[in-house]
Amino acid sequence: MALDGIGGVECVFADYLFHADPACAEHHVLVTHGLCHPSFRPTLKAHAVSVHHAKYWHGLKIPRAGGLRQRHLLGAFAAVKADVVFLRNCLGDLDLVEAARDAVIVCSEHGAAWGEYPERDVARFLARMTGVVCNSRASQRMLELRWQAESARILVRHNPVRSDVAAAAVVRRQGLRTPLRLGIIGRMVPFKGFPLALHAVRHLLRDGVACRLDVAGTGHDEEALLRLARKLSLDGHVRFCGVRASPARFYEDIDVLLCPSIREPFGNVAIEAACTGCPVVAAAVDGLPEAVQHGRTGLCVQPSLPVSDYPELGGSLARCPRWVYDPLTDALQRPRLVDPRALADAVKGLVQRPERWQAMSDEARRCASQGFRMADYASWVDRYLQAVAQRGS
């Protein structure tokens, strides 16, 4: 899998590797993109029997010419002799399928199904899978509705809360702060909807709600977001916090997490925030309503604006998905934006009744800590891989 950056999928995998039972399986890791990020190297060194890089040999990049990379891949799989190959978020990657041709292959789906690939490649890829594990029902339905995946091969297992966040979430929250502290965290890329959060803050300030937005993360859009904050005259009301290696403290320092994504297969940040007792106001798209229980652990806001409005709001249409999943109609639809006005109104409706916010905080903490435990997830994956290996033997 790709381990060259720090994202939800990568962090969940590293945490799983830490908690996996070594008596169940030997783990050999293939890094499919770039080199392994330094943050993950200690975990891989301690818990993986071997680590291989699909595009590098002893730190040197392998040219694609002459089939060198494919021969390198074949050599890596031949050296490991894996019983089961678990491909993570590699939909349509036929090079990996070909290299693992002698093994039982399963894959996990964490968002690749929203991308653009040749239909023939995806069909061949899925036909080779013994099973598919999706991180949400939204991911399952995207595979079924868009790519015609066979339902019988698909299982849904929600992502867990990272163990470092769960370990830090031990204190019950006691009331809102003044000014209200909002937060948004993730990769600063267009589909995460960061500009919508900035506009929502402006609406709240104009409505007389004293608030501050903490923005955590980094990415291609960071400079554009800084410019947008200045354009909206949000100086003193928006704080850019950079990358947070462990986000638990970030969630504890805010009262409400905003998640106005254009597409979001599940929403790890939503269950992480919930685990610390921080309610979430999110877009009602894709898998977010599975991570945020509307009216119980947070609020889900229906997207209502055409995505063509995004540039006017300071966003970019680059890599905007062609399709998203609408849980309300159980159908694919063209992407839309959460109206920042509606986002601000949802925040106001939540925090203007402190007793409602407190009830959601308590319920969010209970649901996330009990329903999304990493130990349970790791045990389930171990059992699943063992069962697949036994069926393939």
Q: Where are the domains of the chain?
A: 8-160+374-392, 163-371
**Per-residue model confidence (pLDDT) at position 391:** 81
Distance CA 47, CA 41 (A): 10
Kind of pairing between the strands at 324-326 and 56-57: unpaired
- Long-range contacts from 341-344, C-beta under 8 angstroms, 24+ separation: 341/200, 341/203, 342/301, 342/302, 342/304, 343/196, 343/197, 343/199, 343/200, 343/203, 343/258, 343/260, 343/281, 343/301, 344/200, 344/201, 344/203, 344/204, 344/207, 344/209
Using one digit for the tens of pLDDT, what is the confidence trace for 155-199?
Answer: 999 999 999 899 887 788 888 999 999 999 999 999 999 999 999
Query: Do 8-160+374-392 and 163-371 fold alike per CATH?
Result: yes
Task: Tell me if 363 sits within 8 A of 296, measured CB to CB.
Answer: yes
Distance CA 136, CA 139 (A): 5
pLDDT band at 266 (very low <50, low <70, confident <90, very high): very high
Distance CA 288, CA 43 (A): 29
DSSP code of 190? G
**Per-residue model confidence (pLDDT) at position 102:** 84
DSSP class per residue in 302-354:
---EEGGGTGGGT---TT--S-EEETTTTEEE--EE--HHHHHHHHHHHHTSH
Q: What is the mean pLDDT of the chain?
A: 94
Residue type, 111: G
The predicted model gives 340-361 an average pLDDT of 96
Task: Tell me if 183 sits within 8 A of 250, measured CB to CB.
Answer: yes
pTM across the whole model: 0.94
Helix count and strand count (H, E) for the chain? 15, 18
Report the percentage of the chain scoring pLDDT > 90. Answer: 81
Q: Name the CATH superfamily, with its identifier, for domain 163-371.
A: Glycogen Phosphorylase B; (3.40.50.2000)
**DSSP H helical ranges for the chain:** 8-19, 41-47, 68-80, 94-99, 119-128, 137-147, 163-168, 194-206, 222-231, 248-252, 268-275, 288-291, 340-351, 354-371, 374-392
pLDDT band at 392 (very low <50, low <70, confident <90, very high): low
Q: Is 364 exposed, middle or buried, given 0-12, 13-18 or 19+ CB atoms closer than 10 A?
A: buried
If one counts every other C-beta atom within 10 angstroms of the C-beta of residue 382, the result is 18
Whether residue 393 is predicted with pLDDT greater than 60 in this model: the reply is no
Only one residue has tokens 């109104």, namely 345
Whether residue 7 is predicted with pLDDT greater than 80 in this model: the reply is no
Whether residue 245 is predicted with pLDDT greater than 80 in this model: the reply is no
Pair of tokens at residue 259: 């998640």
pLDDT band at 230 (very low <50, low <70, confident <90, very high): very high
Distance CA 276, CA 372 (A): 13
The predicted model gives 192-210 an average pLDDT of 98
Higher pLDDT among residues 87 and 8, named by residue? 87
**Per-residue model confidence (pLDDT) at position 383:** 94
Distance CA 202, CA 101 (A): 55
- 8-160+374-392 in CATH: which number? 3.40.50.2000
